[in-house]
Amino acid sequence: MTEASTLTRADLAESLHKNIGLSRAESSRLVEQVLHEMCTALAGGENVKISGFGTFVLRDKGERVGRNPKTGVEVPIAPRRVLTFRASQMMRDRIVGAG
């Protein structure tokens, strides 16, 4: 398996600049605005669904008992909210087809 590269905000902005024709500043502002809206929605307890891509889902996990793997001592794990991503079927098909 090859080393995976990372898609960054700058990469997204550059793609908008090249493919849409926005200025670099406009492209960067647009990327930041989209990410800001997503973060605001998630912070407000909303899920974020991007059709054809996937859904960012907030889940509340209850308190549970865990175990320290080194000592075997049971410790309580506090309830918390976690963010998960569920890829759309279209995205799953593209990923599996690419491999």
Name the β-bridge partners of 56. 48, 85
**pLDDT for the residue 21:** 92
Q: Dump pLDDT digits (tens) for 43-72.
A: 999 999 999 999 999 999 999 999 999 999
Pick the CATH number of 47-99 from 3.40.190.290, 3.40.30.10, 4.10.520.10, 3.30.300.30: 4.10.520.10
Using the 8-state DSSP alphabet, how is residue 73 labeled? Answer: -
Helices (H), ranges, the chain: 9-20, 24-43, 89-98
Question: What is this structure's pTM?
Answer: 0.75
Q: What is the DSSP letter of 86?
A: E
Give, in order, the Cα–Cα distances in Å from 89 to each of 31, 58, 86, 94.
25, 19, 9, 9
Residue ranges covered by each domain of the chain: 8-45, 47-99
pLDDT at 79: 93
